[in-house]
Chain A
Amino acid sequence: MSFLELKDLKIHFPTDDGLVKSVDGLTFSLERGSTLGIVGESGSGKSVTSLGILGLHKGGHARISGEIWLDGEELVSASQEHVRGLRGKKMAMIFQDPLSAMHPYYTVGDQIVEAYRIHHSVSKKVARKHAIDMLGRVGIPEPGRRVDAYPHEFSGGMRQRAMIAMALSCDPELLIADEPTTALDVTVQAQILDLMRDLQREFNSALIIITHDLGVVAELSDDILVMYGGKCIEYGAAEDIFYRPEHPYTWGLLGSMPRLDRERTERLMPIKGSPPSLINIPPGCAFHPRCPYSDRTQGKADTEVPALLETEGGHLVRCHLPREERRSLWENEIKPMLETT
């Protein structure tokens, strides 16, 4: 069994408007020392997934089913207290907005000290020294002085770094970063991505990076999972997703994105329409109202939910189109269009 395994995880929220199927049957696995990138548009269920793994929906009104195995332990059926005890040391999270994860009235140092001492019985002095070390490690200048600053005294990039320091202070075995650089400038984003890469190598932790930016996932991920409407629609090695994608939605994402590493194309190729509301997920294939190939699946597109099937060596695709047709579409139509003007 892998270090982390999700099996058919479902997280649904009953609301006044109906049942929101935020995560609807997610299965994946991740080893220590590896990175999984989860991509998808807003509302596709990325954050609900990460909070779910951390057990943060427990005790709320969410309906959770399926299994989450972390290092041989099942967490969906575990008690809230037990999972809380795993947070920090076993698994930790970096959020998009560091202010929401840090307390405004305590210094950055006190917050790291606090987090550290939950799992380590050391004196405040030792913990403080550790906090200063961690701040230095993540590239905060003059950590000995900055340790006593409040979060609002830091710039956006420094706060993000401080939060990483806090998340890493107990050396977590699983780190989940939910849009960790979305609010940052590219220059600072590059520093943070370098930092996460280095720290992961050093601690050999398992990393999940969640983002809507295909460039960011390509920089870090070994495997990539593409989400749409609460479901995984394509999953494979980074090379599968970038060099031989087989799902029309993945093609759409690639066509929507102007790229600096290629000749400039005259025209972007957007996906028509907009992402679905998770209360009214389109029947059949959730992508069918936006899919240019929906008429090629013998009427199944809007009646039958396609299964997530292996196309080759660990590369999974959820689409009714026959494998040969998908491959030929990619090779002969999509790929040439992405590469030329």
Chain B
Amino acid sequence: MTTPNEPLLSVQDLQKYFPVTKGLLKRQVGAVKAVDGISFDVFKGETLGVVGESGCGKSTMGRLVTRLLEPTGGKVLFEGQDITHMSQGRLRPLRRDMQMIFQDPFSSLNPRHTVGAIVGAPFRIQGIKTEHGTKKAVQEILELVGLNPEHYNRYPHEFSGGQRQRIGIARTLALKPKMIIADEPVSALDVSIQAQVVNLLEDLQNELDLTYVVIAHDLSVVRHISDRVAVMYLGKLVELADRKDLYESPMHPYTNALMSAVPIPDPARRNDRERIRLQGDVPSPLSPPPACRFHTRCWKAQAICKVEEPPLVELASRHQVACHFPEKVPQEAAEAVSA
């Protein structure tokens, strides 16, 4: 894969702390460190997949880079422009370029608006003139996402889950965005419909030259659509690599554990798989474990893991890992780590 030098999106040491308050006076007693210092780039035309267990900060990350949430620290650059604290007014033109798709196709559409009104809303809000009128433009988009343009006047409840997700996608496409952040775009859908929407997202990417960040907990879906994959754990990035490298030679123990937990649809392999079983659940992000946050569940943990946080470093070409004792490290990198 060729990578142009300029990233479309660049995230640097991004943080989001949600204050935890108590009592009538709303005294702050702590903070949920939902995103705690993550850095990555997304290049034009690629798909970055983001995986991790529930509550590890994936959605918060998505809402930070689209500025639906105000970052606590760090930087977000879009096309080289610092948008971290840009005012909503100045953000408005950028909102066209960066759109978000949400998980729930049922609650993210206003039930009282017609499909035409929903998909056409971005044009009105942004005050955009279209060549043959908004209706024509909207019908073209409906066609693009595989919906019948004649359904312009229908309401969301008249559509199935997969069709509603298509309406959601149509809405984000209205303004010809450069980048789409999709937060669990298929997880609420039936298997057969998931595949339709995955294929649609891929076709649109090719046709419209889109860049995607796809957040999903399903590791098989993420492998299918991503060029690169980021693994998050308790607000941190623990591994980031090209798809093939991440799935064929995952280095972080957490990534290995996630992969080994995926059920394999092959009855013959039921008993021959070597399985890593993590104990317990993800600890609370209110008081995450010190140093390496994974040490409470990691079978490789040593004394150092509890006192020193492992930095995210490149251990193989384009393969970053944050761990003191990574797996399957290429020889040269292993020497560098132990040196």
Taking beta carbons and an 8 Å cutoff, which residues of A are in contact with B?
41-42, 141, 155-158, 185-191, 193-194, 212-219, 221, 238-239, 242, 252-261, 264-265, 267-272, 274-275
Contact = CB atoms under 8 A, between A and B. Distances in A.
A151 to B, nearest CB: 15
B223 A257 contact: no
B275 to A, nearest CB: 7
Interface centre among A41, A157, A187, A217 (most CB of B within 10 A): A187
A221 B53 CA distance: 26
A242 B265 contact: yes
A112 B189 CA distance: 34
15 contacts: A185-B53, A187-B258, A215-B265, A239-B267, A252-B192, A253-B191, A257-B265, A258-B198, A260-B219, A261-B269, A267-B199, A270-B192, A270-B198, A270-B199, A274-B193
A256 B192 contact: yes
Contact of B263 (A42, A190, A239, A269): A190
Given A186-B217, A270-B196, A191 B266 contact: no
Contacts of A155: 281
Interface string B253-293: 00001111111111111100001011011100000000000
B182 to A, nearest CB: 16
B90 interface: no
A189 B264 CA distance: 13
Query: 8 closest Cβ contacts across the A-B interface?
Result: A215-B263, A270-B195, A256-B195, A258-B224, A190-B261, A271-B192, A238-B267, A268-B195
A220 to B, nearest CB: 8
Contacts of A255: 195
B207 to A, nearest CB: 15
A145 to B, nearest CB: 15
A190 B220 CA distance: 15
A186 B191 contact: no
A88 B259 CA distance: 36
Contact of B270 (A185, A188, A218, A270): A218
B219 A186 contact: yes
Given A158-B281, A190-B277, A260 B223 contact: yes
Nearest to B197: A270
Nearest to A265: B224
Nearest to A254: B265
Contacts of B278: 187, 191
A213 B196 contact: no
Contact of B190 (A141, A193, A212, A242): A212
A256 B264 contact: no
B39 interface: no
Contacts of A217: 265
Contacts of B281: 155-158, 188
Contacts of A260: 219-220, 223, 247, 259, 262, 264
A326 to B, nearest CB: 19
B193 A270 contact: yes
Interface residues of B, number: 44
Given A194-B277, A268-B224, A218 B263 contact: yes
A235 to B, nearest CB: 15
A264 B224 contact: yes
A296 B269 CA distance: 35
B267 A221 contact: yes
Given A190-B261, A260-B247, 19 more contacts: A41-B192, A42-B190, A186-B261, A187-B257, A194-B277, A214-B191, A218-B264, A239-B268, A242-B266, A256-B191, A257-B220, A259-B265, A261-B265, A261-B269, A264-B223, A268-B198, A270-B194, A270-B195, A272-B196
A238 B261 CA distance: 20
Nearest to A237: B267
B278 to A, nearest CB: 5
Contact of B280 (A141, A156, A253): A141
Contacts of B54: 156, 185
B221 interface: yes
Contact of A41 (B163, B190, B263): B190
A42 B53 CA distance: 24
B110 interface: no
A134 to B, nearest CB: 18
Nearest to A277: B160
Interface string B181-216: 000000000111111101100100000000000000
Interface centre among B198, B199, B224, B260 (most CB of A within 10 A): B224
Contacts of A158: 281
B162 interface: yes
A214 B265 contact: yes
Contact of B262 (A42, A157, A215, A265): A215
B53 A187 contact: yes
Interface string B159-182: 011110000000000000000000
